[in-house]
Amino acid sequence: TGSYLDFAASNDATLAFPDGDNDPGEGSFVVALVQSDAPSGTTEDTQAIVSKADSGGFALEIDQSPSSVLRFGVRVDGSYSYATRSTSALETDELQMVMGSFDGNGRIRLWLDGTDSGVTESASITGGVDTNDSPIRIGADPEGGTNSRFHFDGQIQLISVHRWRNH
C-alpha cells in the first residue's frame, strides 16, 4: 500500500504542475495508481484523475455521461477522442493501475491493471495533441491557469506523465 494523496470531490482538492505542452506530432503516455471512492458517480458528472484538458492536452478520468466509464482521451485538431472501459471493474477498497496512451499516430489506448480487456479504443487518428496554457492537474481538470473543475473522489498514490511519439 504505502502513502497516497486523499482527494475529496466536495473540497475541491487538487495539485497543479507547470504547463508542459508536447512538441508537434507527439502524444501522451499516462500512468496512475488510484482507488476511486465513487466509481459510479459523485455530484459532478466527471472526475479527473489527472488532466491537462482545458481545450487541449489529455485527460484520464471517470465520466458518468451517458454511462459510467473510465476513459483516457486526447484533443487532436480541435476534437476529443477517447478509449473507454466500464467502471464496473474499479475497486473501492484497493489501488489499481490505470494507463492511457496516444502516440500521435493511431488509436488511443487504455489499460486497467495491465489488461485492455473490455476497453473500447478510439478510431485511428493522426496528429499531435493540441496545446494549451493550462497546468497538468492531479485530482481535477484545469480551467485556465488557476481554477479547476471535475474533482476526483479517491486516493492517488502515483502519477506519471510522459511525452510519447509514434515509434
Which residues make beta-bridge pairs with 27? 164
pTM: 0.92
Question: Would the pLDDT of 78 be above 80?
Answer: yes
Q: Are strands 15-17 and 147-149 parallel, antiparallel or unpaired?
A: unpaired
User: Between 141 and 106, whose confidence is greater?
Assistant: 141
Question: Would the pLDDT of 55 be above 60?
Answer: yes
R_g (Cα) of the chain, nearest Å: 14
Question: Would the pLDDT of 144 be above 60?
Answer: yes
Question: Would the pLDDT of 140 be above 70?
Answer: yes
